[in-house]
A and B are shown apart, each in its own frame.
Chain A
Amino acid sequence: MGRYVARRLVQAIPTLFGIMLLTFLLTRLSPTDPVQLMLAGQSDLTLEDRQELLHELGLDKALPLQFVDFAWDVVRLDFGNSFYYHRPAIQLIAERIPNTAQLAIAGFVVAALIGIPLGIIAALFRGRLLDHGIRITSVLASAVPDFFLGLLFVLFLGVQLRWFPIGSMNVIGEGCGLCWDRAWHMVGPVLLYANGGLAVYPRYLRTEMLEILAQDYIRTARSKGLRERIVVGGHALRNALIPVVTLFGGILTIVLSGSVIIEQIFSWPGLGRLLFEAASAKDYPVVTAAVLVGGFLLVLSYILRDIAYAWVDPRIKVGK
């Protein structure tokens, strides 16, 4: 197990390097002038001032040397100060992560609680009306864009029926972390996250469950007279849930991308909204930091997924 973990960690190094290289190249290849960007509005800049500023930023060096500087900064998690907030970008990001995590965790608990049973039901009723119904729901859930669903939620349940608030985390003036008010504000965004899971879980679990129900040991269990409930719940379900572990690694992709949209719609002050606001305000250091931190978290989640998978299913280690 230790060797597997070590190998998996070593494999991640080139990927992390690739992410840094890609981000670096994208920012340096852009036609936008960084000096102009930093000093938006101040046009009384002499050529010497400009050169000096470029030198200060290290932008007059050769590209490979610039990359070395960039990589060194990234390793120390120093992404520079936000143009807008005048605070370290990494600090801004760290502040926002708990807010995003709160939503995402709640969302995926809801998604799993709805999606996994639906997948099992679909498998048990294969080919019947219920199965088709679940399949159509799941296809619909993946076809409807998050932002459309979110806007509909706000439009009908927020604006017209006034059941739910249309944004932010708390009623103004009430600053609580975990209370009824917060939960009330979370309903909309959590449902949106759950929708992302609803598109994936039922399908996945259905295939898995059907595959396992066709195995010999299920036939053995049935022929020795076990009740169907025990065969399905004990023998089949337990094994069908193993690969669900892999889904949790992929979750972070949905969370990171989904949070930009979901938090923008519900004005939820999380990582996604920070990225959106920073990108809208051309706040470069924060955008770069968000992309890199997002990438690193994603790679980390893939590693954790593989390790968890190898842990629950020992056959994996032998393979690749």
Chain B
Amino acid sequence: MATQVAVADALSQADLGRPSVGFWGDVSSRIRGDVTTMIALSILGAMIALALGADLLSDHVFGVSYSKQDLLRTFERPSFANEPAFWLGADNLGRSEVVRLLYGARVSLFIGIFAALVQLTLGLAVGVSAGYFRGRWDDIAVWLISTLNGIPTLYLLIIVGLLFRLDPISLVILIGLLGWTGEANLARGQTFAWRERDFVVAARTLGASPFRIMLRHIVPNILPLMIVTGMLTIGGVILAESALSYLGFGIQPPVPSWGNMLTGATGFYYKGPHLIVVPGIAISLTVLCLYLIGDGLRDALDPRLRGSQAVKRISRRRPPAVGPR
């Protein structure tokens, strides 16, 4: 006993050579050491910067707006010998593909990020409260989830896109309202596991309100997992939005989105193959980056996942033990 105290004393006084690192500090240092994730993060960061700077770039570098038509240059092929506005060629109306891609990035990323935020918030709210209170409210939540899961998402989006005229903001709300079920299921399952933990029982015994327990004790613990899911959700939303816009029920021209830039593409197989390839690569690259970041975050947030299989099995059954913060 005495030696243990001595060792603990010595440890607490010893200079360990570096300052102690908190949970998020550890996560960020792990990510910084992960080449794939860093590459994906920088590509995505560059895309967000380009999307935010679309106005500046189109005014000062390319000198054309996304709807400026030049009917003498329709289907111009991409070439860096052209002036900057036609580096990626021109579309069927002679509009600059580069500039349209930039504005499309703005729409696609905006919808992806914010719709995913809505989904995450709704999913957390419904999932955690259903998992915590159980009973009648849980039944209602499960009913809502199974109902929304019972209709293919694309069908729902098509029927809504048919009935309402959608702009980016209404699409954010719509995709957010229709797509939170995956997040809710995850949060609900996790809450079932966490609400029985000793520290939650202790908090309840000390008289903490359910609201406080959920917000301060349960949500912080499932947040890392939800952030990983959030990355995948952004990718999923971008795919869904582009599919919907591709079919013609999402963002309506002349506002460009990566999906609706491909809408007429089937008519351009011969004249303008670049009109298929350019937006398609933009979507694929963005979603790929998001999925890779999600994977990297998962590894960084839960270092035990990288250990032996025995550890892996336990961590799949139980959520990562981060402890209340």
Q: Which residues of A contact B (CB under 8 A)?
A: 14-16, 18-19, 21-23, 26-27, 29-32, 139-140, 142-148, 151-152, 154-155, 158-159, 166, 210-211, 213-214, 253, 256-257, 260-261, 264-265, 275-276, 279-280, 282, 287-288, 290-291, 294-295, 298-299, 302
Taking the closest CB of chain A, its distance from the CB of B166, in whole angstroms, is 12
Chain B residues closer than 8 Å to A18, beta-carbon distance: 143-144, 146-147, 150
Distance in angstroms from A138 CB to nearest chain B CB is 10
Interface flags for B253-295 (1: CB within 8 Å of A; 0: not) read 0000000001001100110010011001001100110011001
Q: Contact between A294 and B309 (Cβ–Cβ < 8 Å)?
A: no
A145 to chain B, nearest CB (A): 5
Chain A interface main SS type: helix
Measured between beta carbons, the chain B residues less than 8 angstroms from A276 are 158, 247
Question: With A31-B164, A210-B309 given, is the CB distance from A261 to B155 under 8 Å?
Answer: no
Residues of B within 8 A of A31 (CB): 163-164
Contact B159 A294 (CB under 8 A): no
Given the complex of chains A and B, what is the CA–CA distance between A260 and B146 in angstroms? 22
User: B312 contacts which chain A residues (CB < 8 A)?
Assistant: 210-211, 214
Distance A246 CA – B242 CA, assembled complex (angstroms): 28
**B246 at the A/B interface (Cβ < 8 Å)?**
yes
Contact of B163 among A27, A147, A158, A214 (CB under 8 A): A27
- On whether the beta carbons of B155 and A147 are closer than 8 Å, the reply is no
Selected contact of A257 from candidates B152, B162, B295, CB within 8 Å: B152
**A156 to B, closest residue via Cβ:** B273
B316 touching A148 by the CB < 8 A rule? no
Q: Which residues of B contact A152 (CB under 8 A)?
A: 276-277, 280
B239 proximal to A (CB < 8 A): yes
Q: Among B146, B246, B249, B287, which residue has its beta carbon within 8 angstroms of that of A147?
A: B246
Contacts of A32 in B (CB 8 A): 163
- Which of A147, A155, A294 touches B151 (beta carbons < 8 Å)? A294
| Contact call A139/B295, Cβ cutoff below 8 A | yes
A-B contact count (CB 8 A): 155
Residues in chain A near residue B154, CB distance under 8 A: 256-257, 260-261
Tell me the residues in window 161-196 of chain B with beta carbons closer than 8 Å to chain A beta carbons: 161-164
A299–B150 contact, CB under 8 A? yes
User: Which B residues touch A298, using CB under 8 A?
Assistant: 149-152
Interface size on B, residues (CB 8 A): 50
Seed contacts A146-B243, A147-B246, A256-B155; 15 additional CB < 8 Å A-B pairs? A15-B150, A18-B146, A27-B159, A142-B291, A144-B284, A144-B287, A145-B283, A151-B266, A151-B280, A210-B312, A211-B309, A211-B313, A261-B246, A265-B266, A287-B162
Residues of A within 8 A of B235 (CB): 143
In the complex, which residues of chain A have a beta carbon less than 8 angstroms from the beta carbon of B287? 142-145
Determine if B153 is an interface residue (Cβ-Cβ < 8 Å).
Answer: yes
Q: From DSSP, what is the main secondary structure of chain B's interface residues?
A: helix
Indicate whether A291 sits within 8 Å of B143 (C-beta atoms), given known contacts A139-B288, A151-B266, A279-B162: no
A15 to B140, CA, bound (A): 11
Cα separation A146 to B309 with both chains bound (whole Å) = 34
Q: Is B118 an interface residue (CB 8 A)?
A: no
Contacts of B270 in A (CB 8 A): 159
Q: Which 7 A-B pairs have the closest CB atoms?
A: A18-B147, A30-B163, A148-B280, A214-B309, A143-B288, A257-B154, A143-B287
Interface centre among B160, B239, B292, B316 (most CB of A within 10 A): B239
Chain B residues within 8 Å of A287, by CB:
158-159, 162
Chain B residues lying within 8 Å of A23, measured Cβ to Cβ, are 151, 159
Contact indicator B143/A214 (Cβ below 8 Å): no
Interchain CB contact under 8 A, B147 and A145:
no
A139 & B291 in contact (Cβ 8 Å cutoff) = yes
Contact indicator A151/B262 (Cβ below 8 Å)? yes
Whether the Cβ atoms of B243 and A147 lie closer than 8 Å is yes
Q: A211-B316, A214-B313, A287-B159 are known contacts. Are A260 and B288 too (CB-CB below 8 A)?
A: no
| Nearest CB in chain A to that of B232: its residue | A142
B39 at the interface (CB under 8 A from A): no
**Complex Cα–Cα for A26 and B41 (A):** 39
Mark interface residues in B301-325 (1 if CB within 8 Å of A CB, else 0).
Answer: 0000000111011001000000000
**Chain B: which residue is nearest A20 at the CB level?**
B147
- Contact present for B309 and A15 (CB under 8 Å): no
B203 within 8 A of A: no
Residues of B within 8 A of A139 (CB): 288, 291-292, 295
B308 to chain A, nearest CB (A): 8
Chain A proximity of B303: nearest CB distance (Å): 16
Chain A positions within 8 Å of B162 at CB level:
279, 282, 287
